[in-house]
Amino acid sequence: MKRSSLFSALLISASLPLSALAAETYKVDPAHTYPHFSISHLGFSTMHGRFDKTSGTITLDRAAKKGTVDITVDTRSLTTGFAKRDKDLRSPDFFNVAEFPTMTYKADSMTFKGDTPATVNGSLTLLGVTKPVKLTIDSFHCGIFPMNKKAKCGANASADIKRSNFGMKTFLPGIGDDVKLAFEIEAYKE
């Protein structure tokens, strides 16, 4: 019994450095990372907006099929292509950027299809409210970026949320409650 426990402990301790080595850390490339949102405008059309400033890190351990995500979005960098609407969206009616200048997405659980991440199970914090949000990864690719020869991964991911769950209730139900969040994200290996 004792011998077996000792053997297990040795096995675990020996495997730790290996799994640590297997985990790769990626730093978000802000020039190629843009969270988008789309929302129904009184049923007439679907309006789109995006955030221009995003930072964060992602770790991937493909062998262990594990990963973490820690993304921070600067909500002040919101743009929809129309300055007056952007001002409205930054006000306390919507993103309230004076009080909540960031939105974060943190996850420590991923599912894999083969050795490719398929979904990310994390939590989105918006307007001071944290709710579980599952991101579905639509495409994922890793390789060497030809311009600087650095290793990089990129993905397109999306999730559906209800803005009212985060306390954003202005103009409901005219301006839709269902919001599609889409992330186009690229990150360099550290």
Partner 1 sequence: MQELLNHPAVQGGVAPFIAALIAAIVLRRWNLAGLALIAGFIVTAFMVGSIGIEPLTATRKAILLGVLATLLGVALNKSTWRFMRATLACVGGLASIWVIWRILQQHNEFLTALPWAVGTASYVGWLVFWSDRLHSNPVRAGSAGVALGVGTGVAALFGSSVMLGLLGMSLGAASGAVLLLQLLSKQSLSCGRSFTLPLSLLAGLVGCLGVLSASLPWYALMAIAAIPSAAQIPVPQKSSMWLQSLQLSAAALLCAAGAIYLTWRVTGAPPI
Residue ranges in contact with partner 1 by CB under 8 A:
84-85, 87-88, 90-93, 96-99, 101, 127-129, 167, 169-174
CA distances from 107 to 9, 56, 123, 136, 168 (A): 29, 12, 6, 13, 23
Picking from 50, 46, 49, 47, the residue whose alpha carbon sits closest to that of residue 34 is 50
Choice between 68 and 75, CB closer to partner 1: 75
13: buried, middle or exposed (CB in 10 Å: 19+, 13-18, 0-12)? exposed
Choice between 18 and 172, CB closer to partner 1: 172
Find the shortest distance in angstroms from Cβ 62 to partner 1.
37
Picking from 101, 96, 111, 114, the residue whose alpha carbon sits closest to that of residue 157 is 111
Find the shortest distance in angstroms from Cβ 84 to partner 1.
7
Find the shortest distance in angstroms from Cβ 124 to partner 1.
14
Choice between 127 and 153, CB closer to partner 1: 127
Find the shortest distance in angstroms from Cβ 169 to partner 1.
4
Choice between 178 and 190, CB closer to partner 1: 178
For residue 186, give both structure tokens: 């690229």
Residue type, 6: L
